[in-house]
Amino acid sequence: MSSNKVLLADIGNSYFHIYDGTKVEHLLYEEAIRKYHNKTLCYISVKQQLDAAIEEIASWKNISSQMKLEGAYETMGVDRQALCHSHDDGVFVDAGSAITVDVMHHGIYMGGFIYPGLKAMLNTYRAISPALETQLNETISLERLPTTTKDGISYGIIASIKALIDQHCDGKKLYFTGGDGKLLSTFFEEAIYDEMLVFDGMRKVIKETQIC
Amino acid sequence: MSSNKVLLADIGNSYFHIYDGTKVEHLLYEEAIRKYHNKTLCYISVKQQLDAAIEEIASWKNISSQMKLEGAYETMGVDRQALCHSHDDGVFVDAGSAITVDVMHHGIYMGGFIYPGLKAMLNTYRAISPALETQLNETISLERLPTTTKDGISYGIIASIKALIDQHCDGKKLYFTGGDGKLLSTFFEEAIYDEMLVFDGMRKVIKETQIC
């Protein structure tokens, strides 16, 4: 099959993301397996708990090991590596269950860090105290110090990750992907949001290696 | 009784902190009630679940409402307000179950934000994925991008809160208190760690109001 037509899947900690060459679908694990187990599909996965179930599907091919990125470390999530393959230079933010921030320079991986996802952060505050249970203020101003609990929490989540990402941009393009990528990108000037970035990286590697 | 001799208690989300005029004790709730229920004691509390049990103790006095800080908002934790009473100017970080960061300018509260505590943050990563379960690297370098999962998580926790605190210092003194205050203060230049700050604020208000 040609790399342009093959179904591609990025199996994350919460969802199955499937690209059919035209659009991206976000499915629950069971739903994705039921719908696509008879289709030819190449996937990468960070969901180790699913490995046994998925490896039994004869028409699916695990291409995680082909995503190896120059300079990357052994336990770096394969979705982060695929994302970094999408462009040779930039700061790459994948905002899903976790928020990963990775820096690429001339095709070499420079390092990165991990932050909990927005939903996980809100759950964390609630677990500390019922008084800290709140929703995210998605339009919070970062220009002035908050003076309410809801804003103090929203600011703690958004302004801290923004302050750290800003420190690492240094003239590089800033790319966002993932379920909360669009929202998070609104707090940055000149940020690029693109839900295709991980698949772009996978397609680039597939094209180079002809693995699918 | 004189304000110099009275037992003072700061009842937090996880522990009872008691100051006897010489030293601070950190006790579990039951232990603190058993040990001190016959002693005269003035307290502030953010642990609403304990209110009913504590209000029955005849020799204990709740002075939370006296901690009201100029410029503070209605639901601001009373421990944060007491902490801000300790000095008229500064950035005040209380690193316990939650990490609160508050700014005081000429005796007026300017605002602040809330971040989960270090332990809560580590639990959050573990809840997202078993692959993200790790301990904090307490001596992590913030000078370069991490290249391991453990360091990527430790950096995500420490560097993000540091980047945001640094933005708000602006020539002000930086004060740390709380169980993780000493550790967190090591990542800042010229930070002051003092486990007495909340009690200093309580004593200042007690002296002014003669409430105890």
Place of tokens 């999408």: A86
Quick one: pLDDT band at residue A14, thresholds 50, 70, 90?
confident
pLDDT band at A49 (very low <50, low <70, confident <90, very high): confident
Distance CA B122, CA B144 (A): 21
Q: How far apart are CA A116 and CA B125, in angstroms?
A: 6
Check if A170 is active-site.
Answer: no
Q: Say which residue, A5 or A49, is predicted with more confidence.
A: A49
Partner-chain contact B75 A111, CB within 8 Å: no
Q: Distance from A51 to chain B by nearest Cα, in Å? A: 14
The minimal CB distance from B114 to the residues A100, A123, A132 is found for A132
**Is A59 an interface residue toward B (CB < 8 Å)?**
no
Say yes or no: A145 contacts chain B, CB-CB below 8 A: yes
Q: Using the beta-carbon criterion (under 8 Å), do B73 and A115 form an inter-chain contact?
A: no
The answer to whether residue A97 neighbours chain B at the CB level (below 8 Å) is yes
- Mean pLDDT to the nearest integer, B111-115: 97
pLDDT single digits (tens) A144-164: 999 999 999 999 999 999 999
Please name the residue that has the structure tokens 């990528």: A181
Best of A164, A168, A170, A184 to substitute, by most chain B Cβ atoms within 10 angstroms, is A164
Domains of chain A: 7-66+201-209 (3.30.420.40), 69-197 (3.30.420.40)
Residue (of B69, B80, B180) closest to A132 by Cα position? B80
Instruction: Please tell me which residue in A10, A20, A51, A79 is annotated as part of the active site.
Output: A79
- Residue A3: the pLDDT is 46
pTM: 0.89
Predicted local confidence at residue A198, as pLDDT: 97
- Please report which confidence band the pLDDT of residue B2 belongs to, taking 50, 70 and 90 as the band edges: very low
Q: Which residue in the block uniquely carries the two structure tokens 């970094």?
A: A84
Q: Does B144 touch chain A (CB under 8 A)?
A: yes
Q: What is the mean pLDDT of residues B150-172?
A: 96
Q: Write out pLDDT tens, residues B77-105.
A: 999 999 999 999 999 999 999 999 999 99
Q: How far is CA A141 from CA A12, A95, A145, A146, B99, in A?
A: 31, 20, 9, 8, 20
In angstroms, the Cα distances linking A170 to A68, A127, A167, A174 are: 25, 36, 7, 10
Give CA–CA dist A68/A91, Å, rounded.
18
> What DSSP letter does each residue of A43-111 carry, written as one string?
EEE--GGGHHHHHT-TTEEE-GGGG--TT--TTS-HHHHHHHTT-SSEEEEEESSEEEEEEEETTEEEE
Asked whether the beta carbons of A99 and A187 are under 8 A apart, the reply is: no
State the Cα–Cα distance between residues A122 and A75, nearest whole angstrom: 27
Dump the DSSP string for chain B.
--TTTSEEEEE-SS-EEEE-SS-EEEE-HHHHHHHHTTS-EEEEE--GGGHHHHHT-TTEEE-GGGG--TT--TTS-HHHHHHHHT-SSEEEEEESSEEEEEEEETTEEEEEEEEE-HHHHHHHHHHH-GGG-----TT--SSS---SHHHHHHHHHHHHHHHHHHHHHTT--EEEESTTHHHHHTTSTTEEE-TTHHHHHHHHHHHHH---
Under DSSP, is residue A41 helix (H, G, I), strand (E, B) or coil? Answer: strand
Q: Looking at residue A75, what is its pLDDT?
A: 86
pLDDT digits (tens, 9 = 90+) for B39-56: 999 999 998 888 888 999
| ipTM for the predicted complex | 0.89
Q: Which of B77, B115, B128 sits opposite A160 (nearest CB)?
A: B115
B164 CB contacts (<8 Å, ≥6 apart)?
A: A156, A159, A160, A163, B101, B113, B115
